[in-house]
Amino acid sequence: MMEARPYANVIEVIRAARLRPTRQRLALARLLFESGDRHVTAEQLHNEALTAQVPVSLATVYNALHQFVAAGLLREVVVNPGRSYFDTNVSDHHHFFHEDDGQLTDIAGDRIEVKDLPKPPPGTAVRRVDVIIRVAQKDKQ
Amino acid sequence: MMEARPYANVIEVIRAARLRPTRQRLALARLLFESGDRHVTAEQLHNEALTAQVPVSLATVYNALHQFVAAGLLREVVVNPGRSYFDTNVSDHHHFFHEDDGQLTDIAGDRIEVKDLPKPPPGTAVRRVDVIIRVAQKDKQ
DNA sequence: GTGATTGCAAATCTTTTGCACTAAA
DNA sequence: TTTAGTGCAAAAGATTTGCAATCAC
């Protein structure tokens, strides 16, 4: 399991992504990948790093997040205009989006079946199918 | 049909939304609703208005778009972090998102069936289900 | 060493806001 | 005349960029 040799594992993960295991990337990877599935914004992760006594600049957090996405270690979830969420669960799955507090919750991929997926337009291929179930408190409005 | 008395119709639509039919709102509503289903950004609509010799400020475009959304005349579609699209089709349907050029295309609601929709978390109700099929050119990457 | 990475501050981009002016009812 | 709506310029919030200093190999 990852818990057994967490430090070593994170180094391997970063090396596999063809990135240098710098202090900053290691710390961010540990925060992201060593506590189960997470959905974080750049600013949240930045704050966590500072709290954990790891000085990192926000620009470096953005760099790392995008590099991790490019390497397939993270997935960017778009639910809110003007703010990106990064999801450590890169397997096929979907999301509840809680409009009241901006929280994301995973829905296992096999819990939703999309039937009759239309053919993509000629010349194009499907990159991903995102299903977002927007929920809010029952009594609201 | 809407084509028969376009001007009068747009006035009625705006009045029904409990908004005053100002020159700006009328012009924006005509651009939006008198040429079939559309997906526009605030800036696009602003440019169209200026091109059509209708001086409007960008702030007013944003105001109008949000008021139209609140009135149920438009739907906001979130596919891109940092930019909102507004969809004149407010019926139940989904979208292709063309990652190459940022275009949105409608998918009729009955072309996709979401099976086994999970129960929303306790105390919450489903507001909307968004299905976004992200497509890109086949040869890309 | 040398090429990648970082941090900072400035820049960019979209959207929102405050407020005096104008227009609709 | 009363209240809503508009335009402008400034502000806000998220993200990106340029570049000198620093670090990994």
- Answer yes or no: do B101 and B81 share one domain: no
Could you read off the pLDDT of B36-71 as tens digits, one per residue? 899 999 999 999 999 999 999 999 999 999 999 999
Residue A96 and residue A81 share a domain: no
Q: How far is CA B100 from CA A19, A79, A131, B103, in A?
A: 27, 19, 20, 8
What residues of chain B lie within 8 A of the CB of A82, using their CB? 81-82
β-pairing, A93-98 with A124-137? parallel
Q: Read off the DSSP letter of residue A17.
A: T
CATH number at residue A30: 1.10.10.10
Write down the pLDDT at residue A140. Answer: 58
Among the candidates A75, A90, A105, a domain finishes at: A90
Task: Based on the fold, state whether residues A15 and A42 are members of the same structural domain.
Answer: yes
How far is it, in rounded angstroms, from Cα A108 to Cα A128? 15
Q: What is the pLDDT along chain B (141 residues), one digit of tens a residue?
A: 444 455 668 999 999 999 999 999 999 999 999 998 999 999 999 999 999 999 999 999 999 999 999 999 999 999 999 999 999 999 999 999 999 989 999 999 888 888 888 899 999 999 999 999 999 998 754
Q: In this structure, are B109 and B67 located in the same domain?
A: no
The parent domain of residue B26 ranges over 1-90
A76 touches strand D (CB under 7 A): no
Same domain, B83 and B110: no
One domain, residues A62 and A14:
yes
Q: What is the pTM of this model?
A: 0.90
pLDDT at A2: 45
Indicate yes or no: CB of A132 within 8 angstroms of CB of B135. Answer: no
Averaged pLDDT, A121-127: 93
Task: Note whether A44 and A86 are same-domain residues.
Answer: yes
Distance from CA of B100 to the nearest CA of A (A): 10
Q: Which nucleotides of C are covered by protein (CB under 7 A)?
A: 4-9, 13-18, 23-25
Condensed to tens digits (0 to 9), the pLDDT of residues A71-114 reads 999 999 999 999 999 999 999 999 999 999 999 999 998 888 88
Query: Are A123 and A83 contained in the same domain?
Result: no
CB proximity A138 to B under 8 Å = yes
Contact A84, B81 (CB under 8 A): yes
B74, B110: one domain? no
Residues B66 and B75: their CA atoms lie apart, in Å, by 9
- Mark whether A100 and A130 lie in a shared domain: yes
Write a three-state SS string for A73-106: CCEEEEEECCEEEEECCCCCEEEEEECCCCEEEE
CB of A120 within 8 Å of any CB in chain B? yes
Same domain for A96 and A71: no
Residue A98's identity, in one-letter code, is: H
Q: Are B77 and B39 in contact (CB under 8 A)?
A: yes
Return the beta strands (E) in B47-92 as ranges.
75-80, 83-87
- Over residues A108-129, the mean pLDDT reads 90
Instruction: Answer yes or no: do B35 and B56 share one domain.
Output: yes
Number of domains in chain A: 2
Q: Does A20 touch chain B (CB under 8 A)?
A: no
